[in-house]
């Protein structure tokens, strides 16, 4: 059985992490399959939004501890496990929704936070428990938690290894919204379809601009945004979107 199940629902690619015996713990095989699926959809014009999800029990309970345990520094450094797949995921241009139920711990929490919109089930539990294993977050947790929730809460999460429930994660800015567990996929699909109905060039430009907010000084981010905004005036969809508004009709975007 594949460690990532894939399915396409209209314009939405859905990847379901599938290692139930290990609460979807991330290993190289799973992360290779996930990066392959997302890259495939990124270059498929029929797919405009993606969803990554897990099971009701776990989005992912972290990197696979048993697989990692015997590794040496030089192996981790040379092989760059997990890091190399995460770099591929971060290069995806189309938006990715993380639909999270149950445990999202360690690398699972980091993966969910690295995606674009995190929708949490009310059963979701987030945490960076690497400290309890004698290590530290390694897939962005020490950097994205302070950006999302500020220093005090990030230190609390990463230094104590405690879990945060869905309500706390939403208040901390990790989850965009919390929904009842049984509604998780419906809500994620609803959000995905809403995004898929917009102009894809604008959608991808917004994703890139928001991600740049984390990586450059404000003045450079603003300059990037201004130029990206100007560039969208070269698209069919800008002319169509604005004409449709003036003519009081629904825009027919062509994603070009
Ligand atoms: N790895 C491997 N197996 C895991 C696992 C994990 N992270 N989490 C759970 N499992 C396995 C359990 O061993 C158990 O397997 P069996 O014993 O049945 O064979 C099965 O899943 C069910 O788990 P439990 O029996 O423990 O289930 P419970 O409901 O009692 O407890 C739990 C659920 C989530 C509280 C517990 O399983 C737990 O504490 N799991 C570990 C959570 C954790 O510490 N996660 C952080 C892992 S460290 C890197 C970058 C990043 C990372 C690594 C490298 N590089 C750039 C190189 C990331 C590191 C991490 O994420």
Binding site membership of 116 for ligand 1 (Cβ less than 6 Å):
no
pLDDT tops 90 at residue 247:
yes
pLDDT tops 90 at residue 1:
no
Helices (H), the chain: 28-42, 65-68, 73-79, 83-90, 107-114, 141-149, 151-160, 166-171, 184-196, 200-213, 218-231, 236-246
Which tens digits make up the pLDDT trace of 57-76?
A: 999 999 999 999 999 999 99
Partnered with residue 227 across adjacent β-strands are none
Binding site membership of 201 for ligand 1 (Cβ less than 6 Å):
no
Q: What was the pLDDT predicted at 102?
A: 99
Q: Closest residue (by CA) to atom 56 of ligand 1?
A: 83
CA 64 to ligand 1 centroid distance, Å: 6
Q: What was the pLDDT predicted at 80?
A: 93
Q: What was the pLDDT predicted at 116?
A: 98
Q: Tell which atom from ligand 1 comes closest to the C-alpha of 65.
A: 1
CA 6 to ligand 1 centroid distance, Å: 23
Which tens digits make up the pLDDT trace of 149-160?
A: 999 999 999 999
Binding site membership of 112 for ligand 1 (Cβ less than 6 Å):
no
Q: Closest residue (by CA) to atom 22 of ligand 1?
A: 22
CA 218 to ligand 1 centroid distance, Å: 38
> What is d(CA 198, CA 204) in angstroms, rounded to the nearest whole number?
10
Nearest to 200 by CA among 167, 241, 140, 165: 241
pLDDT tops 90 at residue 165:
yes
Nearest to 106 by CA among 73, 136, 146: 136
Pairing of strands 163-165, 125-127: antiparallel
Question: pLDDT class for 26, splitting at 50, 70, 90?
Answer: very high
CA 254 to ligand 1 centroid distance, Å: 44
Which tens digits make up the pLDDT trace of 169-222?
A: 999 999 999 999 999 999 999 999 999 999 999 999 999 999 999 999 999 999
């Amino acid at each position: 059985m594949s460690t990532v199940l894939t399915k396409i629902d209209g314009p939405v690619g859905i990847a379901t992490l599938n290692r139930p015996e290990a609460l979807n713990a991330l290993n190289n095989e799973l992360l290779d399959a996930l990066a392959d699926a997302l890259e495939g959809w990124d270059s498929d014009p029929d797919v405009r939004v993606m969803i990554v999800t897990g099971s009701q029990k776990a989005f992912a309970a972290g990197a696979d501890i048993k697989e990692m345990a015997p590794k040496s520094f030089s192996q981790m450094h040379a092989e760059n496990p997990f890091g190399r797949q995460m770099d591929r995921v971060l290069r995806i241009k189309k938006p990715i929704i993380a639909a999270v139920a149950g445990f999202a711990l360690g690398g699972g929490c980091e993966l969910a936070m690295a995606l674009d919109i995190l929708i949490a089930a009310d059963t979701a539990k987030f945490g960076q428990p690497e400290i309890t294993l004698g290590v530290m977050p390694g897939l962005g947790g020490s950097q994205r938690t302070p950006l999302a929730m500020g220093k005090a809460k990030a230190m609390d999460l990463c230094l104590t290894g405690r879990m945060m429930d869905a309500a706390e994660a939403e208040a901390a800015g990790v989850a965009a919204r919390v929904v009842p567990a049984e509604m998780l996929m419906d809500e994620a699909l609803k959000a995905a379809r809403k995004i898929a109905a917009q102009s894809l060039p604008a959608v991808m430009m917004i994703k890139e601009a928001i991600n740049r907010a984390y990586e450059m000084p404000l003045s450079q981010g603003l300059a990037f945004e201004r130029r990206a905004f100007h560039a969208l005036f070269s698209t069919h969809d800008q002319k169509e979107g604005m004409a449709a508004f003036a003519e009081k009709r629904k825009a027919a975007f062509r994603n070009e």
